[in-house]
Homo-oligomer: A and B are copies of this chain.
Amino acid sequence: MKIKKISHVAIAGNDPEQSRILYEDILGLNFSGSEPVESEGVTTHFFDVGESNIELLEPSGAATPVGKFLNRSGPGLHHLALEVEGLDDYVEKLKQAGIRLLSEEPKMGAHGMRIIFIHPRSTGGVLIELCEKS
Contact = CB atoms under 8 A, between A and B. Distances in A.
A61 interface: no
Contacts of A22: 99, 122-124
B5 A51 contact: yes
Number of chain A interface residues as a range: 35 or more
B9 A80 contact: yes
Contacts of A2: 28
Interface string A48-91: 01111010000000000000000000111111101000000010
B27 A3 contact: yes
Tell me the number of copies of this protein.
Answer: 2
B3 A76 contact: no
A79 B122 CA distance: 20
A126 B50 CA distance: 19
Interface in A27-62: 27-29, 49-52, 54
Nearest to A83: B50
Contact of A94 (B19, B26, B120, B126): B26
Interface of A: 1-6, 9, 11-13, 15, 18-19, 22, 26-29, 49-52, 54, 74-80, 82, 90, 93-94, 97, 99, 120, 122-126
Instruction: Give 7 nearest A-B pairs by CB, closest first.
Output: A5-B50, A76-B125, A75-B125, A77-B77, A13-B124, A75-B124, A6-B52
